[in-house]
């Protein structure tokens, strides 16, 4: 037998070489199971985050009596710190600079109160008489054409109102007591806020290094940067709202003075402070101005004052706020409205006042975390992602060998 015959016999009896099977895409069942697994993981993570937020909210609510003066002190510190910094730059001792600025601020508040109280006391009687006359005109309008309700129906309605008030007298007394308690608590919080503000002003530059030192070397860097950014955001918010409030109060006050509406100074001051509750505060202050004009001078002057208020607020909303927010907080107006609505529903006037600063701080923390994560993002995909792209999915049907 020749060598050629042996080679031919060996080729005939040899086992064919196995060809690697092509990778087939995973089946529909595997994709459904993978999607369910991912949804379950995300849902579990969301539940954990929601539980943590509820726990933090509960803890903040329990500690709010302590935290509220601290928050007020910080907000007041953002207002007074530029003056203290100026005095300290001119070699004033920290304690003397803080005490001088704080006492000057309190003196200005007292002087403003002394300027506001006499006009209110002197004109409130006239406004009450004019409001009574206005109600009498409304009664005559209701009894005349085209309504023709009649004296008996109006009297019955008034009697029903008085009966309701008498039946709820105990509840009203409870509300009055609660209001008095709130006023006392507000006075205590104001005193604590002033004391804390003094210490914040005196020891201002030391707070951030001390806070960063308490959190350790790794977290201290982030705490310091977040503290500085949060401080800048709060300061920018106070400056913006103070400028907006001054412009609103100035032009609306001029309109009230030109048309002879009473209580010009109190309404202007109310407009200034209402600006610190964006959107909602301007609406409430404008409504008060229009109401006083309606009671004192009638519907014509009230409509003119309404036009002035709307014009000033349009200039504020379309010119001032975009310019200021572009330089500062960069909060969309929809976010501001939702924040004020959520804050007022959770904590009333206090929540409405603190809603935008809190939203600004949340935005600062979000942007800082986003920038930090973007700086840490690797150029290549994660190892796990590369492995999933190259290997066959677990549980996928294997292709039959050919």
Which tens digit of pLDDT belongs to each residue from 190-210?
888 888 889 888 887 777 777
Cα 207 to chain centroid distance, Å, stands at 25
236, pLDDT greater than 90? no
Angle at Cα 358 formed by Cα 353 and Cα 360, nearest 5°? 110
pLDDT at res. 74: 87
Q: Does 147 fall in a domain?
A: no
Q: Does 180 fall in a domain?
A: no
Gyration radius (Cα) of the chain, Å: 35
- For residues 24 and 397, is the Cβ–Cβ distance under 8 A? yes
Rounded distance between C-alpha atoms, residue 335 and residue 28, angstroms: 41
Q: Dig out the tokens for 265 from the structure.
A: 């100074």
Q: Which of 60, 55, 50, 59 is nearest to 351 (CA)?
A: 60
Among 51-55, 69-73, 288-292, 391-395, the range with the most confident prediction by mean pLDDT is: 51-55
- The per-residue pLDDT of the chain, averaged, comes to 75
How many domains are contained in the chain?
A: 1
Rounded distance between C-alpha atoms, residue 316 and residue 394, angstroms: 60
HEC assignment per residue over the chain:
CCHHHHHHHHHHHCCCCCCCCCCCCCCHHHHHHHHHHHHHHHHHHHHHHHHHHHHHHHHHHHCHHHHHHHHHHHHHHHHHHHHHHHHHHCCCCHHHHHHHHHHHHHHHHHHHHHHHHHHHHHHHHHHHHHHHHHHHHHHHHHHCCCCCCCHHHHHHHHHHHHHHHHHCHHHHHHHHHHHHHHHHHHHHHHHHHHHHHHHHHHCHHHHHHHHHHHCCHHHHHHHHHHHHHHHHHHHHHHHHHHHHHHHHHHHHHHHHHHCCCCCHHHHHHHHHHHCCCCCHHHHHHHHHHHHHHHHHHCHHHHHHHHHHHHHHHHHHHHHHHHHHHHHCCCCCHHHHHHHHHHHHHHHHHHHHHHHHHHHHHHHHHHHHHHHHHHHHCCCCCCHHHHHHHHCCCCCCCCCCCC
Q: Does 166 fall in a domain?
A: no
Residues in the chain: 402
Cα-based distances in Å from 364 to 31, 54, 238, 239: 39, 21, 16, 17
Q: Dig out the tokens for 360 from the structure.
A: 């600004």
Q: Which of 243, 248, 261 is nearest to 314 (CA)?
A: 248
Q: Does 7 fall in a domain?
A: no
145, pLDDT greater than 80? no
186, pLDDT greater than 80? no
Rounded distance between C-alpha atoms, residue 289 and residue 270, angstroms: 10
Give the model's confidence band at 402: pLDDT under 50 very low, under 70 low, under 90 confident, else very high. very low
Rounded distance between C-alpha atoms, residue 69 and residue 61, angstroms: 14
Of residues 285 and 37, more confidence is placed in 37
Q: Does 121 fall in a domain?
A: no
Rounded distance between C-alpha atoms, residue 105 and residue 101, angstroms: 6
Of residues 391 and 101, more confidence is placed in 101
230, pLDDT greater than 80? yes
Q: Does 58 fall in a domain?
A: no
Rounded distance between C-alpha atoms, residue 81 and residue 94, angstroms: 11
Rounded distance between C-alpha atoms, residue 204 and residue 95, angstroms: 11
- pTM for the model stands at 0.65
Q: Does 236 fall in a domain?
A: yes
379, pLDDT greater than 60? no
Residue identified by tokens 């409030």 is 245
Domain containing 209 equals 204-377
Among 15-24, 184-193, 364-373, the range with the most confident prediction by mean pLDDT is: 364-373
Which of 74-78, 224-228, 275-279 has the least mean pLDDT? 275-279
Which tens digit of pLDDT belongs to each residue from 7-32?
556 555 555 555 555 566 666 778 88
Q: Does 370 fall in a domain?
A: yes
Q: Which of 343, 323, 331, 319 is nearest to 233 (CA)?
A: 331
pLDDT at res. 398: 46
């Amino acid at each position: 037998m020749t060598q050629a015959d042996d080679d031919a016999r060996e080729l005939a009896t040899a086992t064919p070489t196995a060809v690697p099977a092509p990778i087939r895409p995973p089946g529909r069942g595997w994709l459904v199971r993978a999607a369910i697994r991912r949804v379950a993981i995300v849902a579990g993570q969301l539940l954990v985050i929601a539980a943590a937020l509820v726990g933090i909210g509960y803890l903040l609510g329990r500690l709010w009596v302590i935290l509220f003066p601290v928050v007020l002190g910080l907000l007041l510190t953002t207002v007074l710190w530029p003056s203290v910094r100026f005095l300290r730059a001119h070699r004033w001792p920290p304690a003397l600079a803080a005490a001088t600025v704080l006492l000057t601020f309190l003196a200005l508040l007292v002087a403003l109160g002394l300027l506001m109280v006499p006009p209110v006391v002197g004109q409130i009687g006239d406004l009450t008489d004019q409001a009574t006359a206005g109600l009498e005109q409304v009664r005559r309008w209701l009894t005349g054409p085209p309504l023709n309700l009649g004296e008996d129906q109006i009297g019955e309605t008034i009697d029903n109102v008085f009966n309701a008030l008498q039946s709820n007298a105990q509840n009203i007394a409870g509300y009055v007591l609660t209001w008095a308690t709130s006023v006392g608590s507000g006075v205590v919080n104001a005193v604590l806020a002033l004391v804390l503000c003094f210490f914040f002003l005196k020891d201002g530059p030391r707070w951030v290094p001390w806070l960063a030192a308490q959190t350790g070397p790794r977290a201290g860097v982030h705490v310091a940067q977040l503290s500085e950014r949060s401080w800048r955001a709060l300061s920018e918010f106070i400056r913006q709202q103070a400028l907006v409030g001054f412009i609103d109060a100035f032009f609306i006050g001029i309109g009230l003075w030109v048309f002879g509406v009473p209580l010009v100074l109190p309404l202007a001051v109310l407009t200034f402070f209402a600006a610190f509750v964006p959107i909602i505060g301007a609406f409430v202050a404008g409504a008060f101005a229009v109401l006083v004009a309606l009671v004192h001078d009638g519907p014509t002057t009230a409509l003119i004052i309404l036009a002035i208020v709307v014009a000033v607020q349009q200039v504020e909303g379309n010119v001032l706020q975009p310019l200021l927010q572009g330089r500062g907080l960069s909060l969309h107006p929809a976010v501001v409205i939702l924040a004020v609505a959520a804050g007022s529903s959770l904590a009333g006037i206090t929540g409405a006042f603190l809603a935008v600063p809190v939203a600004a701080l949340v935005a600062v923390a979000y942007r800082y975390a986003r920038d930090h994560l973007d700086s840490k993002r690797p150029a290549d995909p994660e190892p796990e992602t590369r492995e999933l792209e190259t290997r066959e999915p677990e549980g996928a049907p294997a292709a039959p060998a050919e």
